[in-house]
A and B are shown apart, each in its own frame.
Chain A
Amino acid sequence: MKQDFEQLKEEIKYEKTNSCVQCGYCLPVCPTYATMGKETHSPRGRINLVKMVGEGRITDLSVLEEPMDLCLGCRACETACPTGVEYGSILEAARAAITRRKKFSSPVRTLRNTLFKEVFPSRKAMSFIGNSMWLYEKSGIQKLARKSGLTKKLPSHLGEFEAITPAAVSPQERSSLPRVTPAKGDKKYTVAFFVGCVMDAMFRKINHLSVKLLTEAGCDVIIIENQTCCGALHAHSGELEESKSLAKRNIEAFEREEVDFIVNNAGGCGAMLVEYDHLLADETLWVERAKRFSEKTKDISQILVLCGGIKAKDLSPQWVTYQRSCHMTNVLKVTKEPLQLIQSVPNVEFIEMNDANMCCGSAGIYNIVNYDASMEILDQKMENVRDTKATTIITTNPGCLIQMKLGIERENLKESMRAVHLVEYLAEATGITESPNSVNL
């Protein structure tokens, strides 16, 4: 019994909770504390709940379930924390401990297994799912979540997501990227491009444009085979073992090529990749390899700036705003480069929104499984977006992009506003087109 308890303490990373001095500095930056209005849904509150488990005051882990589920995992709290509490790590450990002890009904377990073990990690499967199919798959997750008690409300909002699904791309565009795309002009770096699962299945166009921007900037771009999902969705859902095995697969795959950087275009994936060394910290055989991998991981904006920026032409005068990816800001700490690139486009006026660093409520699959909570956060965000009077919202992560599109739809702003990925915006500004022919396919 005592041994079990000691093991549980280790599992939930009780020790890490002790660096929280409960000063509350995280409260004003937490989106769920702002919208849900109770300490239970604040970082300090959640850490305390984990602490209480570690001190034997809470013995039923299901008490933690809702507070942990309703966390967006945006990790804004980490940037406000004066004592450096590793909130992300505590959250993931708690979710994993809850998941391990949870008795899913058997169809739910099968579905979970299929999704997390076979669908996300498989490029083939994700490719098959493709653009619009992805959302139906997401709806599968939602049904699963409902059955497993993750959400108590019947979903009635899927139509909204359908409306914002990107238009299906032509088979030509869906064709894979070439293994190597050489740099235009003088080669500055050799980079491996991380395609990601959601980006690849749903926003392949953006991946194509990313490769073009990188080659224009002077990079040889390699698409490494056998790469897989980064594992972020797994880690955030408490499937820690699965995310570790994906991390190992990626490390192995990318070790095969000698590259200067591993480049991605999704803040959420980037944050996962850059923390592989934390994820595998307990595995002595892997930690060094993970560290090398993490060190090479860069966001595309960093590489473009490193290569001297983009060659932007004049766009028609317009106002733009930027909805940051939380993981890009709070985990990768990439904040200057996207702004630098946006502001390098002539004629474009950048307007910062209020509470720019607040999460938009997308957070992986949060907007599906915790729809109401997510929409409350989105509505606050859209108010701030509206105030900027911008016509373009730029994002740096697929989840945020979908959420912003949804926000525009909900607010009936479709006529006057659009949401794009930074890569799309920069491609537009440099005159790079989406046509696959010009990517040397």
Chain B
Amino acid sequence: MITTENVKEIISIVKTGRVLTDESDRFSYSFDGSFGTYLPDVVIQTKSVEELATLVKLANREKIPIYPRGQATSLSGGPLPVQGGMVFDLSVMDDLLEIDEEDLVAVVSPGVLTSNIHNAAEQKGLMYPPDPSSSRVSTIGGNLAENSGGPRGLKYGVTKDYVIGLEVITPQGDIIRTGGRTVKNVTGYDLTKLIVGSEGTLGIITKAILRLIPKPPASETVMAIFNSLVDAGRAVSKILSSGILPSKMELMDQASIVAVENYQPSGLPRDAEAMILIEIDGHPSAVTAEAEQVSKVCKDVGAREVRVPKTKAETEEVWKARKLVSPAIVRIKPTKISEDATVPRSKIPEMCRRLQVIKKKYNVHLVVFGHAGDGNLHPNIIADKSDKEEMKRVEQAVAEIFEAAVQLGGTLSGEHGIGTMKAPFMEMELGAAGLDMMKKIKQAWDPNNIMNPGKIFPEPGQKLVLSE
């Protein structure tokens, strides 16, 4: 619990920013895109790294929890101040966005919106590939902390594949630099990769150096419709083994097709079991040839229809259907539990089958869509959180989805992070010794457990609770 003395000290440290303590402000930093409301004691907004470091020293001395926060689009509870304390609103650190065309890097401060990096890079003919669908709202700091993915993960990888250097405030309040501006760097342990995806539990990222690549000059889209979900899965594997690496491969199951059609009709086939959208990018002539080949593979596997949109408008129309899945499904019921269990590509059809079994067993409204190409499916359960009995069934279904993913050699989370919701399942995937190793790292870095406490590691006996 934070004392009045602490607050006074915090205010005296923050000379260039704001310290928010009003009830309305505290409630406004109590949530994210996942579940639960947790009131912080104070919210701090400052652009000064030195001030933040001094605050961390204070927190470390007084054992006050610190919760770094971007714009709180997290779907796993990353920024939730579950033990009160201080929230650092890092979205205010949005000033630094430099594109270096010679070194092919971007240097950014944590509050910069991911889409602003996309735009700045594109203006110079370059590309920053990670593209979480929240990129117009999410900050790069949040993306780094959670190691965000996105549709382009299939070909280009995820956030961690593009970070080569960081500036970090350690839990002791020291400012350190990891990595640098070179792609090759083997000096010592790779702390950059350790920090990325550590969900704010090891330190606060205050600057990052990101790798950029030349922007592919052309792209083309193929849409294939299948009568059977298994055929769609086979098409995905066949395409990937035919020597083509598409930039995106998105799957929509029947439930999501129907939901989108009910929401904004655009003539999608309600009776189809699955639809896949494939994007190929690269040199114009290669793109055209590969799109033809992809179309052929889909037909060979048994697609009932293959469409290749010709104009930009047609292409946008096709992708709009995929974008509409999330909004469409929450029209059914208000509460969306969005999972991102990921399996090896070859296991996609089997994962889809198991998801259908789980759906029936617990009688839940389960919709499956997502990044089929990299095995990162998004099974979403649509429920009503005021229905306690239903939420109990949802909890059980979610647990079984995790089990299925792990049994198939996959993982709990492909891109959303562990946060609060998936913490209880960590041991299932990592084993006791594996989890213990991670805990030891955490203890070595942050012996007073002040950095984002209550995340990733389960409390003894902690279970998934969705019914508040």
CA distance A60 to B27 in the complex (A): 13
Whether A64 and B92, one on each chain, are in contact in the complex, defined by CB atoms closer than 8 angstroms, is no
Query: Of A17-25, A148-156, A177-185, which stretch is located at the interface?
Result: A17-25
How many chain B residues have a CB neighbour from A under 8 Å?
35
26 contacts between A and B (CB under 8 A): A18-B334, A18-B335, A21-B33, A21-B330, A23-B33, A23-B134, A24-B71, A24-B72, A24-B138, A25-B134, A27-B71, A28-B113, A28-B137, A37-B45, A38-B25, A48-B31, A49-B24, A52-B37, A58-B23, A66-B24, A82-B327, A83-B327, A83-B330, A83-B331, A84-B327, A84-B331
CA distance A5 to B200 in the complex (A): 39
Whether B327 and A27, one on each chain, are in contact in the complex, defined by CB atoms closer than 8 angstroms, is no
Find B37's partner among A25, A39, A57 (CB 8 Å cutoff). Answer: A57
CA distance A27 to B69 in the complex (A): 15
Closest to A22 in B: B33
Closest to A42 in B: B28
Residue-wise, chain A 45-74 has the 8 Å CB interface mask toward B (1 for contact) of 100110010010110100110110000000
CA distance A408 to B24 in the complex (A): 35
Taking the closest CB of chain A, its distance from the CB of B30, in whole angstroms, is: 8
CA distance A66 to B22 in the complex (A): 11
Given known contacts A21-B336, A37-B45, is B28 in contact with A48 (CB within 8 Å)?
A: yes
What are the residues of chain A within 8 A of B138 when measuring CB–CB?
A: 24
What are the residues of chain A within 8 A of B22 when measuring CB–CB?
A: 40, 63
Residue-wise, chain A 32-46 has the 8 Å CB interface mask toward B (1 for contact) of 000001111010010
What are the residues of chain A within 8 A of B89 when measuring CB–CB?
A: 38-39
CA distance A353 to B134 in the complex (A): 25
Tell me whether B15 is interfacial, beta carbon within 8 Å: no
What are the residues of chain B within 8 A of A18 when measuring CB–CB?
A: 334-335, 385-386
Given known contacts A38-B25, A52-B27, is B334 in contact with A24 (CB within 8 Å)?
A: no
Taking the closest CB of chain B, its distance from the CB of A273, in whole angstroms, is: 26
Taking the closest CB of chain A, its distance from the CB of B342, in whole angstroms, is: 21
What are the residues of chain B within 8 A of A57 when measuring CB–CB?
A: 27, 37
Taking the closest CB of chain A, its distance from the CB of B256, in whole angstroms, is: 14
Whether B33 and A38, one on each chain, are in contact in the complex, defined by CB atoms closer than 8 angstroms, is no
The A-contacting residues of B in range 1-38, CB under 8 angstroms, are 18, 20, 22-25, 27-33, 37
Taking the closest CB of chain A, its distance from the CB of B219, in whole angstroms, is: 24
Given known contacts A18-B334, A38-B20, is B27 in contact with A24 (CB within 8 Å)?
A: no
Given known contacts A24-B73, A64-B24, A67-B24, is B29 in contact with A39 (CB within 8 Å)?
A: yes
Given known contacts A24-B72, A28-B136, is B45 in contact with A38 (CB within 8 Å)?
A: yes
CA distance A64 to B27 in the complex (A): 10
What are the residues of chain B within 8 A of A55 when measuring CB–CB?
A: 37
Tell me whether B326 is interfacial, beta carbon within 8 Å: yes
Whether B24 and A25, one on each chain, are in contact in the complex, defined by CB atoms closer than 8 angstroms, is no
Whether A63 and B23, one on each chain, are in contact in the complex, defined by CB atoms closer than 8 angstroms, is yes
Whether A48 and B27, one on each chain, are in contact in the complex, defined by CB atoms closer than 8 angstroms, is yes
Report, as a range, how many residues of chain A touch the other chain.
20 to 34
What are the residues of chain A within 8 A of B326 when measuring CB–CB?
A: 82
Whether A24 and B134, one on each chain, are in contact in the complex, defined by CB atoms closer than 8 angstroms, is yes
CA distance A52 to B18 in the complex (A): 24
CA distance A118 to B76 in the complex (A): 53
What are the residues of chain A within 8 A of B335 when measuring CB–CB?
A: 18
What are the residues of chain B within 8 A of A25 when measuring CB–CB?
A: 134, 136-137
What are the residues of chain A within 8 A of B385 when measuring CB–CB?
A: 18
What are the residues of chain B within 8 A of A40 when measuring CB–CB?
A: 20, 22, 24-25, 28
CA distance A45 to B89 in the complex (A): 14
Closest to B263 in A: A84
What are the residues of chain A within 8 A of B331 when measuring CB–CB?
A: 83-84
CA distance A118 to B113 in the complex (A): 48
What are the residues of chain A within 8 A of B32 when measuring CB–CB?
A: 22
Closest to B338 in A: A21
Residue-wise, chain B 28-65 has the 8 Å CB interface mask toward A (1 for contact) of 11111100010000010100000000000000000000
* Apart from A23-B33, A24-B137: 17 A-B pairs, beta carbons within 8 A: A18-B335, A23-B73, A25-B134, A28-B113, A38-B18, A38-B45, A38-B89, A39-B25, A39-B28, A39-B29, A40-B25, A48-B30, A49-B28, A52-B27, A67-B24, A67-B28, A84-B331
Whether A38 and B28, one on each chain, are in contact in the complex, defined by CB atoms closer than 8 angstroms, is yes
What are the residues of chain B within 8 A of A21 when measuring CB–CB?
A: 33, 330, 336
CA distance A58 to B89 in the complex (A): 22
Whether B33 and A45, one on each chain, are in contact in the complex, defined by CB atoms closer than 8 angstroms, is no
Whether A23 and B29, one on each chain, are in contact in the complex, defined by CB atoms closer than 8 angstroms, is no
CA distance A376 to B18 in the complex (A): 18
CA distance A278 to B32 in the complex (A): 30
CA distance A69 to B327 in the complex (A): 29
What are the residues of chain B within 8 A of A67 when measuring CB–CB?
A: 24, 28
CA distance A42 to B25 in the complex (A): 11
User: For B29, B32, B137, which residue has the most chain A Cβ atoms within 10 angstroms?
Assistant: B137
CA distance A96 to B449 in the complex (A): 45
User: For B28, B138, B326, B385, which residue has the most chain A Cβ atoms within 10 angstroms?
Assistant: B28
Taking the closest CB of chain B, its distance from the CB of A85, in whole angstroms, is: 10
The 3 closest A-B pairs by CB, nearest first: A82-B327, A45-B28, A39-B28
